Chains A and B, each alone.
Chain A
């Protein structure tokens, strides 16, 4: 079974609108972290936002926020006021394993976001 599922291969949004990118995950470990990365057409991987399984509040970083619904095992990325520069591939990823420090990061297949003027 896939550990990270991103069901939207592609999304379109108009500039200045908000957009939600879906991510569901599968784990039986009570301790885990969820990450979102952005990959523009130039190829580099840019870390956007993090949510820990024990965090009481949803994570926010500027225009990025994470709609974390633990019972549903979802961690959707919300981008407010989209900009043309937000056009990119977005990856959701999860790390399990408590405080071992050594567990690996598992990625979803990504969602391509296109922002139009």
Chain B
């Protein structure tokens, strides 16, 4: 089954304790991205990756890091989490096949609810 898998689904942690949210897709997609969702703000992109070893900042990258060492994995790293990073996080992926890009929907993981105390 084609899917994007995020772990953990829920995490409560404390300020300053480094954490990693993993994301893996089995669709051989080139493009992967991370979003955070906050009430009244919709989804905002944190980072994205166009392929292995190619990453770039989205709209709200401060306080986050990512890496793309393998095509299927795109972990989100919070080196020193703070309470304002409490949010619902989504990983997504899609194909970037030329000529078809406009109709390729992003496939989303089920989300990770992070609470930073």
A residues near B, CB below 8 A? Answer: 4, 31-33, 35, 37, 43-45, 47, 50, 52-53, 91, 93, 95, 97, 99-110
CB–CB B58/A104 < 8 A:
yes
CB–CB B90/A45 < 8 A:
yes
A-B contact pairs, 16 of them (CB 8 A): A33-B101, A43-B110, A44-B110, A44-B111, A45-B111, A47-B105, A47-B107, A50-B103, A50-B105, A91-B43, A97-B101, A99-B101, A102-B96, A103-B101, A104-B48, A110-B42
CB–CB B43/A107 < 8 A:
yes
> What's the least CB distance linking B53 to chain A, in Å?
15
> What's the least CB distance linking A20 to chain B, in Å?
19
Q: A43-B110, A93-B43 are in contact. List 17 more A-B contacts (CB 8 A).
A: A4-B42, A32-B102, A33-B101, A33-B103, A37-B108, A43-B113, A47-B106, A50-B105, A52-B102, A52-B103, A91-B42, A101-B31, A101-B96, A101-B98, A101-B101, A105-B33, A105-B92
A106 to B92, CA, bound (A): 13
A4 to B43, CA, bound (A): 11
Closest 8 CB pairs of A and B: A101-B96, A33-B102, A45-B108, A47-B105, A101-B101, A109-B42, A107-B43, A107-B42
A108 to B58, CA, bound (A): 15
A110 to B48, CA, bound (A): 22
> What's the least CB distance linking B71 to chain A, in Å?
15
Point out the residues of chain A lying under 8 angstroms from B99, CB to CB.
Answer: 99
Point out the residues of chain A lying under 8 angstroms from B108, CB to CB.
Answer: 37, 44-45
List the A residue with the shortest CB-CB distance to B108.
A45
> What's the least CB distance linking B68 to chain A, in Å?
14
Most buried by B among A101, A102, A105: A101
Point out the residues of chain A lying under 8 angstroms from B105, CB to CB.
Answer: 35, 47, 50
Question: With an 8 A cutoff between CB atoms, is B45 at the interface?
Answer: yes
Point out the residues of chain B lying under 8 angstroms from A102, CB to CB.
Answer: 31, 50, 96, 101
Point out the residues of chain A lying under 8 angstroms from B88, CB to CB.
Answer: 43
